[in-house]
Amino acid sequence: MGKYGKNRYKNSEGIFEKMVAKEFRIESISIIVGGFLVLIATFLHPPLVDPYNGAKAIHQFSHCNIWMEDHVLMLCGIVCWLLGLAGCKPFISSQHKASTMAAALCYISLCLWIMILTTELTILPVLGAEMKRPYDVYIAAVWKAAFSFGLLAGYFAVACSWLAIILYGCAMKKSGHRFSNWFTNGTIFFGLLGFIGIIVTCFSFHLGYVILPLTSGPVFLWTMWLGYRAGFANIR
């Protein structure tokens, strides 16, 4: 192929990449905006990692003045973020089962999160208000049970998300050379790191304060990079 042929190939490839980027602009914006909302809501949320430490959870809940606002923000962010990730399936690969399974796991995670956050926006505040006048041990026990269910289910929901990222990485490997090796291998590595971090945390909840940021942080940032790459990386 001559110099003219190479330039023509590069130009046609660039035009194709721009078309792809424009096609996934909505999914890209959804991931990035949703991701930022999730980050903000996470920083505002009381630091709770042990679903079986109900006493600490009640204490944190009673001293949190923005419980409702924080969880509404988290719900909006999670919906945007996971819908964007699921919608990126054709960008990753539409011909491999791995990407289909990844998108399905994103939807499963989304369903779990909607159930969890709806509980935390309805059952926990209602029971929390009843505990204050006067304190009732039975109501407190129900509150602790609902909290325990929600937090543990949240770990399962996050695990589904990181499994989806691993499967997206597997689909990238099968799609040829559309993605660089470092991007593909990083997808699998970060997804696996996040998934292992969830498993370790579930066996030792008190380590979650350290393990979760170190293991889930990198893969979460990778999803933000995916959002940028899917919709904006090739736009000039």
Q: How much is the pLDDT for 14?
A: 45
Cα dihedral 139→142→143→148 (10° resolution): 160
The helix-helix angle for 67-87 and 137-174 (nearest 10°) equals 20
What pLDDT, on the 0 to 100 scale, is given for residue 135? 65
Burial environment of residue 196 by CB neighbours within 10 A (0 to 12, 13 to 18, 19 or more): middle
How buried is 1 (Cβ within 10 angstroms: 0-12 exposed, 13-18 middle, 19+ buried)? exposed
Q: Which of 196, 233, 223, 180 is nearest to 87 (CA)?
A: 223
Alpha-carbon 95 to chain mean position: 24
Nearest to 145 by CA among 118, 114, 124: 124
Q: Is the dihedral of CA 54, 56, 59, 60 positive or negative?
A: negative
Per-residue DSSP letter, 24: T
pLDDT of residue 5: 46
Cβ–Cβ < 8 Å for 196, 188: no
171-185 pLDDT, tens per residue?
A: 988 877 677 888 889
Q: Where are the alpha helices (DSSP H) in the chain?
A: 3-23, 25-44, 54-62, 67-87, 89-92, 97-131, 137-174, 181-203, 208-231
Q: State the chain's maximal CA–CA distance in angstroms.
A: 84
What pTM does this model have? 0.86
Which stretches of the chain score pLDDT less than 50? 1-21, 235-236
